[in-house]
Amino acid sequence: MVVRLLKQKLPVYYFYHNDQHTRYVEEKAMQIGRFEKCTDYELYLLSAAALWHDAGLIDKYIGHEEQSCSLAKKYLPDFGFSIEEIKQVCGMIMATKVPQSPHNKLEQILADADLEYLGTSQAVAVSDLLFRELQYLDPFLTKREWIERQIPFLQQHHYFTNYCKENRQREKNHYLKFLQSQL
**pLDDT tens for each residue of 9-57:** 999 999 999 999 999 999 999 999 999 999 999 999 999 999 999 999 9
Q: Is there a contact between 65 and 95 (Cβ–Cβ < 8 Å)?
A: no
pLDDT tens, residue by residue, 99-144: 999 999 999 999 999 999 999 999 999 999 999 999 999 999 999 9
pLDDT tens, residue by residue, 135-177: 999 999 999 999 999 999 999 999 999 999 999 999 999 999 9
Domain ranges across the chain: 2-181
How many other C-beta atoms are found inside a 10 Å radius of the C-beta of residue 41? 9
Whether this prediction's pTM lies above 0.95 is answered by yes
pLDDT number for residue 72: 98
CATH of 2-181 among 1.20.5.510, 3.90.550.10, 1.10.3210.10, 3.80.30.20? 1.10.3210.10
Q: Is there a contact between 53 and 96 (Cβ–Cβ < 8 Å)?
A: yes
Amino acid in position 19: D
